[in-house]
A and B are shown apart, each in its own frame.
Chain A
């Protein structure tokens, strides 16, 4: 508790402090997108023919698609031909230990306050650090390997476990799913791959830090997590990005597959550069995340804390196919200044006795716009399906906005669906109450907002909860008087 307060205190008056650029020689392919670029990416990564074909199919599909504009966000046109689709640090030799990592990159992680060494030793977290699309360090791998767990970069998985990748890639998010998913499928650079074998409980939290670092380079991560029968895993994704003026597109795809009795917990703290106070710059975060509870009694939990990006568009969803399967979505989305977020989830109930829980906390400050968009679909065979949704919005100031679009589609009469929604303004009286006890205004706001988000924070792994609270503080700085 005391550390959390202290950290919040430290945050007073910090600008976006992760806005710095590391000088690492990079291998960037020229801007533009066509079939040759797709082939070039594939060949640079020495991919098998089937994957190239898959990329090309996706690319051709993408060409026929139109950028979606139904979401409740506004942004300038994206210049797809003005973006470079591949960047990798030039040094690419295999590393056995962290000491071999480029000192520049190590220094960057230090500045970010991500002490890999310490995490490695103390918190039992295996860190697969993705630096500009290509993994530079993977730890704990041998320990995990003893249990048969595969935790590696997507490219390595393609090389070492092609049968798994081939079987599952695109099985939850097809290459034709949507405009950004198709683009990702065509040009994805790298990402993470996790496979937990039958009956294995992954003994540590798996974590990846993503970072955009090359100017004008879109980031197209692809993550694939498979938990086989009775397996369980908790995966953390967190990110910070350097300060840039140009908009940068981030279109990731995450696919989760939970077999019978398996559990996957996927937690995200998203802190891409949000743009400046005037709304200039910032990341476009257009992500497709979806999981399938394939087997009976499987469970997928998405927890997200979205504080960054200038425009966020994402709906981590669950397809509840197995009987008695469970889908959960816990979300905190913060928009300040000119940030916009359109986020939520889809819970698709197909199996019997399936249950889903949605808890969404939207916080808007400045001129931020926050939209919750959620769909609950209950298929006609999904008898006794249950859903509980709770969408709360908190407004700070009177120039921001909160919007809620819950969609319901129920084809089975035994379904029980509950929806609760609230919108509140952070009260002057609440702030004053804290102040009258000696708590400074910024801290009071942090406290009130953290309290508002409590139900979501408690779903996060401990170290993430602290970080999330920290980020919340940063993103709401200067939002009140």
Chain B
């Protein structure tokens, strides 16, 4: 489903990703861990097409298509979804209205009829129930005045409604209390299926107790320095990144940048 080959990405004249290689097959969950500033969010943004992230080298194939050749909105309509680490607020834009526009844009691309307000609400109510999200969130402006945890939940809610083929979750667990974490994880797990893949960025092994990954990768200084099964996360939890021989150089910058 996704093949990333030697991906190099530059932000404001600084090379952040220095050659990422990663293959994600259908139905797999990959966790990406790594110290602050190592490039995890940069990787997710580059995959979803943020204009500030310039790809200088490498290739990304998504279902056989050149992903890097697509505009961000096109990627989304093709099934790539990103749950942001820091979701932005869009004042005055009703969350339900926003989501309906998004869903219908996607349906249109797929040659499906657009949903009217009534059908849309049916879809939405069901998802809200699964995620234990209050109805009132629909009528508020997108993320405006949401608490940190509410924003993250809203991201998962968007994901649930848009039903992507590839979901990139960037630190969706940060800022969630323990109950919310469980609820969000259950939401994600409910969506796991043979034809949907996830890339989950996290700092905490805790999340991976709920969302059990097929693979764990460690990103450090713009490169994947280790890959393994879910037990790798446990090892990291125990020893920290500094304990990783390969991470000697990057440990010093932990916490220095966001």
B102 interface residue (CB < 8 Å to A): yes
Offer 28 A-B interface pairs, CB within 8 angstroms, sorted by A.
A1-B100, A2-B114, A5-B100, A5-B104, A430-B90, A433-B84, A433-B87, A434-B73, A434-B102, A435-B49, A436-B48, A436-B49, A436-B73, A436-B75, A436-B76, A436-B84, A437-B98, A437-B102, A437-B158, A438-B109, A439-B73, A439-B102, A444-B73, A447-B90, A451-B90, A451-B93, A454-B92, A455-B92
- A-side contacts of B75, CB under 8 Å: 436
Question: What DSSP secondary structure best describes chain B's contact surface?
Answer: helix
Cβ-neighbour of A438 out of B50, B76, B87, B114 (below 8 A): B76
Q: Which residues of B (116-167) have their CB < 8 Å from a CB of A?
A: 116-117, 141, 158, 162
A429 interface residue (CB < 8 Å to B): yes
Q: Given the interface contacts A436-B72, A438-B162, does A430 sit within 8 Å of B102 by beta carbon?
A: no
Q: Are A438 and B105 in contact (CB under 8 A)?
A: yes
Q: How many Å lie between the Cα of A400 and that of B141 in the bound state?
A: 27
Q: Are A438 and B92 in contact (CB under 8 A)?
A: no
Most interface-central of B77, B81, B101 (chain A CB within 10 A)? B101
Q: Are A438 and B77 in contact (CB under 8 A)?
A: yes
Q: Are B73 and A441 in contact (CB under 8 A)?
A: yes
- A-side contacts of B101, CB under 8 Å: 5, 439, 443, 447
**How many Å from the CB of B76 to the closest CB on chain A?**
4
> Which residues from chain B sit less than 8 Å from chain A, CB to CB?
48-52, 71-73, 75-77, 81-82, 84, 87-88, 90-93, 97-106, 109, 114, 116-117, 141, 158, 162
- Nearest CB to that of A452 among chain B residues? B92
- B-side contacts of A434, CB under 8 Å: 73, 90, 98, 102
A405 interface residue (CB < 8 Å to B): no
**How many Å from the CB of A121 to the closest CB on chain B?**
25
Q: How many Å lie between the Cα of A438 and that of B76 in the bound state?
A: 5
- B-side contacts of A2, CB under 8 Å: 100, 104, 114, 116-117
- A-side contacts of B99, CB under 8 Å: 437
Q: Are A427 and B88 in contact (CB under 8 A)?
A: yes
- A-side contacts of B105, CB under 8 Å: 437-440, 443
Interface residue tally for chain A (C-beta within 8 Å): 27
**How many Å from the CB of B83 to the closest CB on chain A?**
10
Q: Are B98 and A447 in contact (CB under 8 A)?
A: yes
**How many Å from the CB of A21 to the closest CB on chain B?**
36
Q: Are A438 and B90 in contact (CB under 8 A)?
A: no
- Nearest CB to that of B159 among chain A residues? A437
**How many Å from the CB of B94 to the closest CB on chain A?**
8
Q: How many Å lie between the Cα of A452 and that of B89 in the bound state?
A: 12
> Which residues from chain A sit less than 8 Å from chain B, CB to CB?
1-2, 5, 427-430, 432-441, 443-444, 447-448, 450-455
- B-side contacts of A439, CB under 8 Å: 73, 76, 98, 101-102, 105
Q: How many Å lie between the Cα of A447 and that of B75 in the bound state?
A: 20
- Nearest CB to that of A458 among chain B residues? B92
Q: How many Å lie between the Cα of A437 and that of B90 in the bound state?
A: 13
Cβ-neighbour of B92 out of A429, A440, A443, A451 (below 8 A): A451
Q: How many Å lie between the Cα of A437 and that of B87 in the bound state?
A: 12
Cβ-neighbour of A428 out of B51, B77, B102, B104 (below 8 A): B51
**How many Å from the CB of A233 to the closest CB on chain B?**
29
Cβ-neighbour of A450 out of B51, B52, B82, B92 (below 8 A): B92
Q: Are A435 and B52 in contact (CB under 8 A)?
A: no
Q: How many Å lie between the Cα of A428 and that of B91 in the bound state?
A: 15
Q: How many Å lie between the Cα of A427 and that of B101 in the bound state?
A: 20
Q: How many Å lie between the Cα of A454 and that of B99 in the bound state?
A: 18
Cβ-neighbour of A451 out of B51, B71, B114, B141 (below 8 A): B141
Nearest 8 pairs of A and B residues by beta carbon: A451-B92, A451-B93, A438-B76, A454-B92, A437-B102, A435-B72, A435-B73, A438-B77
Most interface-central of A427, A447, A452 (chain B CB within 10 A)? A447
Q: How many Å lie between the Cα of A142 and that of B148 in the bound state?
A: 59
Q: Are A440 and B73 in contact (CB under 8 A)?
A: yes
- A-side contacts of B81, CB under 8 Å: 436-437
- Nearest CB to that of A443 among chain B residues? B101
Cβ-neighbour of A433 out of B49, B88, B103, B109 (below 8 A): B88
- A-side contacts of B92, CB under 8 Å: 450-455
Q: How many Å lie between the Cα of A471 and that of B51 in the bound state?
A: 28
Known: A2-B104, A433-B90, A435-B49. 10 other contacts (CB 8 A): A2-B116, A432-B72, A436-B49, A437-B98, A437-B102, A437-B105, A438-B77, A441-B73, A447-B101, A450-B93
- B-side contacts of A1, CB under 8 Å: 97, 100, 117
Q: Are A435 and B114 in contact (CB under 8 A)?
A: no
- B-side contacts of A441, CB under 8 Å: 71, 73
- B-side contacts of A452, CB under 8 Å: 91-92
- B-side contacts of A444, CB under 8 Å: 73
Q: Given the interface contacts A430-B88, A441-B73, A448-B93, does A436 sit within 8 Å of B106 by beta carbon?
A: no
- A-side contacts of B73, CB under 8 Å: 434-436, 438-441, 444
- Nearest CB to that of B168 among chain A residues? A436
**How many Å from the CB of A397 to the closest CB on chain B?**
14
- A-side contacts of B93, CB under 8 Å: 447-448, 450-451
Q: Are A437 and B88 in contact (CB under 8 A)?
A: no
Cβ-neighbour of B82 out of A436, A443, A448, A455 (below 8 A): A436
**How many Å from the CB of A437 to the closest CB on chain B?**
4
**How many Å from the CB of B98 to the closest CB on chain A?**
7
Q: Given the interface contacts A433-B84, A450-B92, A451-B141, does A438 sit within 8 Å of B100 by beta carbon?
A: no
Q: How many Å lie between the Cα of A430 and that of B114 in the bound state?
A: 24
**How many Å from the CB of B234 to the closest CB on chain A?**
32
**How many Å from the CB of B159 to the closest CB on chain A?**
10
**How many Å from the CB of B84 to the closest CB on chain A?**
7
**How many Å from the CB of B141 to the closest CB on chain A?**
7
**How many Å from the CB of A432 to the closest CB on chain B?**
6
- A-side contacts of B52, CB under 8 Å: 428
- A-side contacts of B104, CB under 8 Å: 2, 5
